[in-house]
Amino acid sequence: MKILLVEDSRTSVLLVQMLLQDDPLETYELHVAGTLADAKTRLGNEKFDLILLDLTLPDTSGLATVDSVFSIADGTGIVVLTAQNDEELGLAALRHGAQDFLVKDETYRRVLLRAIKYARQRSLAEKEIREARDLAEFATRSKSSFIANLSHELRTPLNAVIGFSEMMLSGMTGKMTDKQHEYTNDIFKSGRYLLGLIGTVLDISKIEANKLELHNGIVDMREIIADVTERLQGAYHNGIVELVVDVAPGLPKLYGDETMLTQVVTNLVGNALKYSPDGGEVRVSAVVENGDMIFTVKDHGIGIPKDEIDMVLQPFGRTQESRVRNIDGTGLGLPLTKGLVEAHGGTLKLVSDTGKGTTVIVRLPDDRLRN
Ligand SMILES: Nc1ncnc2c1ncn2[C@@H]1O[C@H](COP(=O)(O)OP(=O)(O)OP(=O)(O)O)[C@@H](O)[C@H]1O
Ligand SMILES: [Mg+2]
């Protein structure tokens, strides 16, 4: 194992050398750097399996030493050596990226070899995790840019489909028979549906790639809730579901993206109405609790089986029940809504079970509230 010992005291170097020679199970190649500058040159030129780092050197001291070495160590594990009575500094070094620390006292001799081996194992494991994460992030980025390009290419012809069918419907291109009018209307509506779907897919892929940009402003949730509930009141079951709105008096405003928050309310109230039976009741409320804003939508509809809750939060996830009943839906509303809430630093929780109705609880954090 190739070790870089960053240490300026001659005695300490000799001691480490002696201890390493004692190990019957492993041979070590020990390289010594006496200053931070020296260590930087060495690390820039060759790879080591582990770094043993004394924090007090002629050209640096304390946590700054850890920071400097960590920034160029490129994933190589660091074991910090601290003077006696300096546990606290050792613990702080761990928070600054060191794998372990050793206090130079009487126990030092016994634990050095073990610490070296553990630190090496840990840094190898961490390296694997880092590589796997980098790969996953790369895959997400590629997928997201593919979807962004595809959406753009789909939108252009789709706008022609929508624009021309709309023109024909308006009568500008001459009179149509009733059948022609009906079919053209279908073309127009399907085109608009597809355009919306493309927008949703694009938004979800932006959320996954962490590329969603919020256009923040002061937003009045009371107004959004009033607008959305009025708009959706008659949209499902011919309006036979009762919508009860319960917004706390003096509800503070929010600092957030109005379009996104409107979408959150629209999707959740829309779901509640869509999955309710005729004559059911949907309750929409907004209150402040422990400093956070809690927005809740509760229905008494078909519910979501407990073991399907995770699935419906994934893109295209739909319950068996909603498929069997042939209820219209794509399965994109919830994952998008959850992503939009999280982009605001909030959380979305689903409480539901088969036949028991569904409650969706959105919590927006106190730092977003404005009085
Ligand atoms: N309030 C609810 N009650 C019962 N089931 C629900 C409710 N909300 C969501 N679900 C279930 O979760 C699934 C996912 O919801 P989501 O809003 O993502 O998609 P959708 O409503 O099917 O389609 P859309 O993309 O148009 O919103 C639904 O298909 C339905 O099975
Ligand atoms: Mg939905």
- The number of beta carbons lying within 10 Å of the beta carbon of residue 343 is 18
The CATH number of 216-370, from 3.40.50.300, 3.30.479.30, 3.20.20.140, 3.30.565.10, is 3.30.565.10
- In the chain, the N- to C-terminal Cα span, in Å, equals 61
If pLDDT is split at 50, 70 and 90, which confidence band does 87 have?
confident
Cα(6) to centroid(ligand 2), Å: 59
Cα(117) to centroid(ligand 2), Å: 53
pTM listed for this prediction:
0.72
Residue 271 Cβ < 6 Å to ligand 1: yes
With the C-alpha atoms ordered 144, 148, 149, 154, is the resulting torsion angle positive or negative?
positive
Stretch (H or E) spanning 100 = strand 100-103
Give the mean model confidence (pLDDT) for residues 221-226: 97
Atom of ligand 1 nearest to the CA of 319: 31
**CATH class of the domain defined by 2-105:** alpha beta
pLDDT for the residue numbered 141:
87
Residue 299 Cβ < 6 Å to ligand 1: yes
C-alpha–C-alpha distance, residues 348 and 159, integer Å: 34
Packing angle, helices 333-343 and 258-274, rounded to 10: 150
Q: Per-residue pLDDT for 104 more than 90? A: no
The region of weakest confidence among 144-158, 169-183, 282-296, 337-351 is 144-158
pLDDT for the residue numbered 245:
97
Average model confidence (pLDDT) for the chain? 93
pLDDT in tens, 20-59: 998 888 899 999 999 999 999 999 999 999 999 999 999 9
Atom of ligand 1 nearest to the CA of 336: 18
Classify 220 as helix, strand or coil.
Answer: coil
Closest CA to 55 of 77, 80, 84: 80
pLDDT for the residue numbered 22:
86
Pocket test for ligand 1, best of 202, 241, 263, 334 (most atoms within 8 A of CB): 334
* Count of all residues that appear for the chain in the document: 371
Question: In sequence order, which residues have a C-beta less than 8 Å from that of residue 168 and are 6 or more positions away?
Answer: 176, 184
Atom of ligand 1 nearest to the CA of 322: 31
C-alpha–C-alpha distance, residues 362 and 347, integer Å: 6
3-state secondary structure 34-95: CCHHHHHHHHHHCCCCEEEEECCECCECCHHHHHHHHHHHCCCEEEEEECCCCHHHHHHHHH
The rounded Cα 236 to chain-centroid distance in angstroms is 33
Residue 320 Cβ < 6 Å to ligand 1: no
